[in-house]
Structure 1
Amino acid sequence: EEVTPPVVEETPAPAPEEATPPVVEETPAPAPEEVTPPVVEETPAPAPEEATPPVVEETPSNPYADLNASIAESAKQLVGVTDGQWCTQVVQQALAGAGVSDAYQLWPDQYADQYGYYTDTPQAGNLIYYNNGGRGVDHIAIYIGDGQAVHGNYEGQTVIAGAYLENFGLPQYIQVQR
């Protein structure tokens, strides 16, 4: 008889266990603390100031500008009206017409001492004294600007003519201050 070997059931060997890494409980890293920036109260920037020009106190170039204008205008009104009068009479009337209350007729060389001072910056309304270069009769007129003056007794008439007269000497300007 044949002998049949017994059937042996083979039990498979247990599969080798895979090595599992040890379980390490990780402690989560602390979450970074939120850093709150310090509260800075923002002060609104001041509104930009409008650029204002610096205050410049204007000093009139001549405190007698109104008086000068009045003297020049008064002198122009005498042209053709005071014909035959002396230069000093015409100046006296121009001053009176401009409101110089004590205007009176003087010798031409006395006007600076009585009514003002000599100036190197002529302005309309100044008196002009001509000493005739020391050669005779002096003359006085009223400067009206642009190189022109009102002259009394200019060939017997009151006229507007140049401020620089030939043979009369250099004009000297007088600023009236009354």
Structure 2
Amino acid sequence: MKKAVLALLGFVLSLGLLSGNAFADDSASKLEAKVNKLIGIDYDYGGTTTKGFDCSGFTQYVFKAFDISLDRSSRDQAGQGKAVDKDDLRAGDLVFFNTSGNGISHVGIYLGDGVFVHASTNNGVIKNKLNESYYAKRYVTARRILTNDQYQDIAR
């Protein structure tokens, strides 16, 4: 009986780890811990709160939690910080996409290992891979917002 309970508990815990909603994950950065709590929140055009986010409202909300100010639109956010090559991305960098055909129209936060988090119009707050066909074709640029000290504190 004890073995069955322990096995069930192990299974439940592994589900939490796989879904990104572990009960406690000491290895997660402050950034990851923050965004993991927001996964699944609905998309809302113009949304800037946990009632619903659009893409730039989401990035603005997350960075504000760390006392970092971002402009409101993805296009304006693309002018903040400093440009960074795709090959040099690190957690906390903003990644920008042309999803409308009219220049920068979407933004997400790079988390590392090719993964970024963003507010998707169809799926709400979600993680995706930069190399997924849809995003790879539409990738435009990235900007480094965090200073080295902020990166060490927030994203590592």
TM-score, L = length of structure 2:
0.57
Distance 1:174-1:76 versus aligned 2 partners, 3 A rule: farther
The residue correspondences of 1:88-167 to structure 2 (distance < 5 A) are: 88-100=56-68, 102-105=69-72, 107-114=73-80, 116-120=81-85, 121-132=88-99, 135-136=101-102, 138-165=105-132, 166=134
In the alignment, the residues of structure 2 paired with residue 163 and residue 147 of structure 1 have an alpha-carbon distance, to the nearest angstrom, of 6
3-state SS of the aligned residue for 1:74? helix
Give 1:113 shift.
2.0
Counterpart of 1:174 in structure 2: which amino acid? R
Does 2:138 correspond to 1:169? yes
Would you say the 8 A contact 2:93–2:146 is kept in 1?
no
CA distance in 1 between counterparts of 2:66 and 2:138 reads: 27
- Could you tell me which runs of 5 or more consecutive residues in structure 1 were left unpaired when the two chains were aligned: 1-68
Letter in 1 for 2:62: A
2:42 corresponds to? 83
Output the TM-score relative to the length of structure 1.
0.50
The structure number with the bigger radius of gyration is: 1
Count of residues in correspondence between the two structures = 105
Distance 1:98-1:171 versus aligned 2 partners, 3 A rule: farther
Name the Cα RMSD after superposition.
2.4
Shift of 1:171: 4.3
2:5 corresponds to which residue?
Answer: none
Task: Give the direction of change, closer, same or farther, for the CA distance of 1:143–1:111 in structure 2 (3 Å limit).
Answer: same
Q: Residues 156, 171 of structure 1: CA spacing in aligned structure 2 closer, same or farther, 3 A cutoff?
A: same
Deviation string 1:4-55 (CA, Å, 9 cap, x unpaired) is: xxxxxxxxxxxxxxxxxxxxxxxxxxxxxxxxxxxxxxxxxxxxxxxxxxxx
Q: Structure 1 residues 126 and 79 mapped into 2: Cα distance closer, same or farther (>3 Å)?
A: same
Distance 1:98 1:72, change over 3 A: farther
Unaligned runs of at least 5 residues, structure 2: 1-28, 44-52, 148-156
